[in-house]
Amino acid sequence: DAKTTQPNSMESNEEEPVHLPCNHSTISGTDYIHWYRQLPSQGPEYVIHGLTSNVNNRMASLAIAEDRKSSTLILHRATLRDAAVYYCTRGSNYKLTFGKGTLLTVNP
Amino acid sequence: EPEVTQTPSHQVTQMGQEVILRCVPISNHLYFYWYRQILGQKVEFLVSFYNNEISEKSEIFDDQFSVERPDGSNFTLKIRSTKLEDSAMYFCASYTGSLSGYTFGSGTRLTVV
Protein backbone atom coordinates (compact mmCIF):
# COMPACT_ATOMS: atom_id res chain seq x y z
CA ASP A 1 0.00 0.00 0.00
CA ALA A 2 1.19 3.47 -0.82
CA LYS A 3 1.61 5.49 2.34
CA THR A 4 0.63 8.90 3.59
CA THR A 5 2.91 10.65 6.07
CA GLN A 6 1.70 13.17 8.63
CA PRO A 7 3.16 14.75 11.77
CA ASN A 8 2.18 12.79 14.88
CA SER A 9 0.84 15.89 16.60
CA MET A 10 0.28 19.61 16.20
CA GLU A 11 -0.90 22.34 18.48
CA SER A 12 -2.89 25.46 17.76
CA ASN A 13 -4.56 28.30 19.59
CA GLU A 14 -8.27 28.91 19.39
CA GLU A 15 -9.38 31.19 16.53
CA GLU A 16 -6.04 30.91 14.75
CA PRO A 17 -5.58 29.17 11.39
CA VAL A 18 -4.16 25.64 11.34
CA HIS A 19 -2.26 24.08 8.45
CA LEU A 20 -2.06 20.29 8.62
CA PRO A 21 0.45 18.84 6.13
CA CYS A 22 0.46 15.44 4.44
CA ASN A 23 2.90 13.75 2.10
CA HIS A 24 1.60 11.17 -0.37
CA SER A 25 4.46 10.94 -2.80
CA THR A 26 3.41 7.58 -4.30
CA ILE A 27 -0.23 8.45 -4.89
CA SER A 28 -1.60 7.15 -8.19
CA GLY A 29 -2.99 9.49 -10.80
CA THR A 30 -6.57 8.44 -10.16
CA ASP A 31 -6.59 8.35 -6.36
CA TYR A 32 -8.36 11.15 -4.57
CA ILE A 33 -6.96 12.79 -1.44
CA HIS A 34 -9.46 12.59 1.40
CA TRP A 35 -9.24 14.12 4.85
CA TYR A 36 -11.19 12.78 7.82
CA ARG A 37 -11.12 13.53 11.50
CA GLN A 38 -11.91 11.33 14.46
CA LEU A 39 -12.94 12.14 18.00
CA PRO A 40 -12.44 9.54 20.76
CA SER A 41 -14.92 6.66 20.57
CA GLN A 42 -16.44 7.97 17.33
CA GLY A 43 -16.19 6.99 13.69
CA PRO A 44 -14.13 9.03 11.25
CA GLU A 45 -15.90 12.15 10.00
CA TYR A 46 -15.44 13.38 6.45
CA VAL A 47 -13.78 16.79 6.16
CA ILE A 48 -12.88 17.38 2.52
CA HIS A 49 -11.47 15.70 -0.57
CA GLY A 50 -9.94 16.60 -3.90
CA LEU A 51 -8.06 15.30 -6.90
CA THR A 52 -5.92 18.07 -8.38
CA SER A 53 -7.44 21.48 -7.69
CA ASN A 54 -7.68 23.25 -4.38
CA VAL A 55 -11.04 22.74 -2.71
CA ASN A 56 -13.10 24.69 -0.18
CA ASN A 57 -16.11 23.69 1.85
CA ARG A 58 -17.82 24.89 5.01
CA MET A 59 -15.40 22.98 7.22
CA ALA A 60 -12.01 23.56 5.66
CA SER A 61 -9.84 24.17 2.61
CA LEU A 62 -7.60 21.67 0.88
CA ALA A 63 -4.49 22.82 -0.92
CA ILE A 64 -3.01 20.20 -3.24
CA ALA A 65 0.52 20.56 -4.58
CA GLU A 66 0.85 20.77 -8.34
CA ASP A 67 2.72 17.44 -8.44
CA ARG A 68 0.11 15.89 -6.09
CA LYS A 69 2.83 14.56 -3.82
CA SER A 70 1.60 16.56 -0.87
CA SER A 71 -1.43 18.41 0.41
CA THR A 72 -2.38 20.71 3.27
CA LEU A 73 -5.64 20.84 5.17
CA ILE A 74 -6.43 24.36 6.31
CA LEU A 75 -8.75 25.11 9.19
CA HIS A 76 -9.28 28.84 8.93
CA ARG A 77 -10.19 29.51 12.56
CA ALA A 78 -9.61 26.64 14.95
CA THR A 79 -12.18 26.05 17.67
CA LEU A 80 -12.01 23.74 20.67
CA ARG A 81 -14.36 21.39 18.81
CA ASP A 82 -11.72 20.95 16.09
CA ALA A 83 -9.46 19.05 18.50
CA ALA A 84 -9.26 15.55 17.00
CA VAL A 85 -7.06 13.13 15.08
CA TYR A 86 -6.90 14.24 11.45
CA TYR A 87 -6.29 11.61 8.79
CA CYS A 88 -5.02 12.25 5.32
CA THR A 89 -6.03 9.29 3.17
CA ARG A 90 -5.64 8.30 -0.42
CA GLY A 91 -8.40 6.41 -2.05
CA SER A 92 -10.80 5.36 -4.68
CA ASN A 93 -14.43 4.30 -4.73
CA TYR A 94 -13.36 0.91 -3.42
CA LYS A 95 -10.97 1.73 -0.62
CA LEU A 96 -9.48 4.40 1.60
CA THR A 97 -6.14 3.74 3.25
CA PHE A 98 -5.69 5.44 6.61
CA GLY A 99 -2.36 6.32 8.18
CA LYS A 100 -1.72 7.15 11.82
CA GLY A 101 -2.99 10.71 11.51
CA THR A 102 -2.14 13.96 13.29
CA LEU A 103 -3.45 14.64 16.78
CA LEU A 104 -4.51 18.28 16.79
CA THR A 105 -4.65 20.01 20.16
CA VAL A 106 -6.43 23.38 20.31
CA ASN A 107 -5.56 25.63 23.21
CA PRO A 108 -8.15 28.09 24.56
CA GLU B 1 -28.15 14.97 7.89
CA PRO B 2 -28.33 11.31 6.77
CA GLU B 3 -26.48 8.84 8.99
CA VAL B 4 -25.00 5.37 8.84
CA THR B 5 -26.51 3.39 11.69
CA GLN B 6 -24.70 0.50 13.37
CA THR B 7 -26.05 -2.02 15.86
CA PRO B 8 -25.25 -3.09 18.47
CA SER B 9 -23.01 -0.36 19.86
CA HIS B 10 -21.21 -2.91 22.03
CA GLN B 11 -21.07 -6.69 21.79
CA VAL B 12 -19.31 -9.13 24.04
CA THR B 13 -18.83 -12.65 22.76
CA GLN B 14 -16.94 -15.78 23.71
CA MET B 15 -14.00 -16.92 21.67
CA GLY B 16 -15.11 -19.29 18.92
CA GLN B 17 -18.63 -17.88 18.69
CA GLU B 18 -20.14 -16.35 15.57
CA VAL B 19 -21.06 -12.68 15.58
CA ILE B 20 -23.00 -10.56 13.13
CA LEU B 21 -22.49 -6.82 13.09
CA ARG B 22 -25.25 -4.84 11.46
CA CYS B 23 -25.27 -1.60 9.53
CA VAL B 24 -27.88 0.49 7.74
CA PRO B 25 -26.04 2.59 5.14
CA ILE B 26 -27.41 5.82 3.69
CA SER B 27 -30.17 4.89 1.29
CA ASN B 28 -28.89 6.39 -1.98
CA HIS B 29 -25.28 5.32 -1.47
CA LEU B 30 -23.78 2.75 -3.79
CA TYR B 31 -20.57 1.66 -2.08
CA PHE B 32 -20.36 0.00 1.32
CA TYR B 33 -17.41 -0.77 3.56
CA TRP B 34 -16.27 -2.30 6.78
CA TYR B 35 -13.24 -1.01 8.65
CA ARG B 36 -11.87 -1.90 12.05
CA GLN B 37 -9.77 -0.09 14.63
CA ILE B 38 -7.95 -1.94 17.36
CA LEU B 39 -7.65 0.21 20.49
CA GLY B 40 -4.92 2.82 20.04
CA GLN B 41 -4.19 1.85 16.45
CA LYS B 42 -5.10 3.18 13.04
CA VAL B 43 -8.29 2.55 11.09
CA GLU B 44 -7.83 -0.56 8.92
CA PHE B 45 -9.73 -1.40 5.76
CA LEU B 46 -11.49 -4.77 5.72
CA VAL B 47 -13.75 -4.93 2.67
CA SER B 48 -15.69 -2.91 0.13
CA PHE B 49 -18.97 -3.95 -1.49
CA TYR B 50 -20.52 -2.62 -4.69
CA ASN B 51 -23.23 -3.90 -6.99
CA ASN B 52 -23.96 -6.80 -4.64
CA GLU B 53 -20.47 -8.18 -4.61
CA ILE B 54 -17.13 -7.68 -2.89
CA SER B 55 -15.05 -5.21 -4.89
CA GLU B 56 -11.92 -5.24 -2.75
CA LYS B 57 -10.76 -6.88 0.47
CA SER B 58 -7.71 -6.73 2.68
CA GLU B 59 -5.50 -9.52 4.01
CA ILE B 60 -7.37 -9.25 7.31
CA PHE B 61 -10.61 -10.27 5.60
CA ASP B 62 -9.96 -14.00 5.52
CA ASP B 63 -12.36 -16.96 5.33
CA GLN B 64 -13.65 -16.21 8.82
CA PHE B 65 -15.25 -13.01 7.57
CA SER B 66 -18.19 -12.54 5.24
CA VAL B 67 -20.46 -9.68 4.22
CA GLU B 68 -24.03 -9.57 3.03
CA ARG B 69 -26.59 -7.05 1.89
CA PRO B 70 -29.61 -9.29 2.41
CA ASP B 71 -32.53 -6.93 1.83
CA GLY B 72 -31.33 -3.80 0.04
CA SER B 73 -31.06 -1.77 3.22
CA ASN B 74 -28.97 -3.68 5.75
CA PHE B 75 -25.29 -4.48 5.35
CA THR B 76 -23.81 -7.09 7.67
CA LEU B 77 -20.38 -8.33 8.67
CA LYS B 78 -20.19 -11.88 9.99
CA ILE B 79 -17.24 -13.31 11.85
CA ARG B 80 -17.66 -17.08 11.95
CA SER B 81 -15.40 -18.08 14.81
CA THR B 82 -14.18 -15.13 16.79
CA LYS B 83 -10.65 -14.88 18.18
CA LEU B 84 -9.32 -12.69 20.95
CA GLU B 85 -7.50 -10.57 18.35
CA ASP B 86 -10.83 -9.73 16.66
CA SER B 87 -11.57 -7.40 19.58
CA ALA B 88 -11.81 -3.94 18.04
CA MET B 89 -14.16 -1.16 16.97
CA TYR B 90 -15.81 -2.07 13.71
CA PHE B 91 -16.97 0.79 11.51
CA CYS B 92 -19.38 0.58 8.63
CA ALA B 93 -19.23 3.25 5.94
CA SER B 94 -21.08 4.13 2.76
CA TYR B 95 -20.34 6.39 -0.20
CA THR B 96 -22.26 7.85 -3.11
CA GLY B 97 -19.29 7.56 -5.42
CA SER B 98 -19.28 11.20 -6.37
CA LEU B 99 -19.24 14.56 -4.68
CA SER B 100 -19.00 13.81 -0.98
CA GLY B 101 -16.76 11.64 1.13
CA TYR B 102 -17.39 8.39 2.89
CA THR B 103 -19.92 8.50 5.74
CA PHE B 104 -18.93 6.36 8.71
CA GLY B 105 -21.15 4.98 11.44
CA SER B 106 -20.42 5.33 15.13
CA GLY B 107 -19.08 1.82 15.31
CA THR B 108 -19.64 -1.45 17.16
CA ARG B 109 -17.19 -2.25 19.91
CA LEU B 110 -16.58 -5.99 19.75
CA THR B 111 -15.02 -7.60 22.80
CA VAL B 112 -14.01 -11.25 22.51
CA VAL B 113 -13.41 -12.99 25.85
pLDDT digits (tens, 9 = 90+) for A46-56: 999 999 989 99
Q: Given an 8 Å threshold on Cβ–Cβ distance, is B44 in contact with A98?
A: yes
Q: Given an 8 Å threshold on Cβ–Cβ distance, is B50 in contact with A93?
A: yes
Confirm or reject contact between A95 and chain B (CB < 8 A).
yes
The minimum CA-CA distance between B42 and chain A, rounded to whole Å, is: 5
pLDDT at B26: 94
* Gap between the Cα atoms of A42 and B101, Å rounded: 17
Q: Is the pLDDT of residue A65 over 80?
A: yes
Confirm or reject contact between A97 and chain B (CB < 8 A).
yes
C-alpha closest to that of A84 among A53, A105, A108, A54: A105
* Nearest Cβ partner for A99 among B42, B55, B93: B42
% chain A with pLDDT above 70: 98
Q: Given an 8 Å threshold on Cβ–Cβ distance, is A44 in contact with B104?
A: yes
Q: Given an 8 Å threshold on Cβ–Cβ distance, is B50 in contact with A94?
A: yes
Confirm or reject contact between B101 and chain A (CB < 8 A).
yes
Q: Given an 8 Å threshold on Cβ–Cβ distance, is A95 in contact with B93?
A: no
The least confident of A22-26, B19-23, B56-60, B74-78 is A22-26
Q: Is the pLDDT of residue A13 over 70?
A: yes
Chain A positions touching B97 (Cβ under 8 A) are 93
Q: Is the pLDDT of residue A36 over 70?
A: yes
Torsion of CA B56, B78, A96, B104, to 10 degrees: 140
pLDDT at A94: 85
Angle CA(A12)–CA(A43)–CA(A86) in degrees, nearest 5? Answer: 25
pLDDT digits (tens, 9 = 90+) for B6-29: 999 999 999 999 999 999 999 889
Q: Is the pLDDT of residue A2 over 80?
A: no
Q: Given an 8 Å threshold on Cβ–Cβ distance, is A94 in contact with B31?
A: yes
What residues 38-57 of chain A have any CB closer than 8 A to a CB of chain B? Answer: 38, 41-49
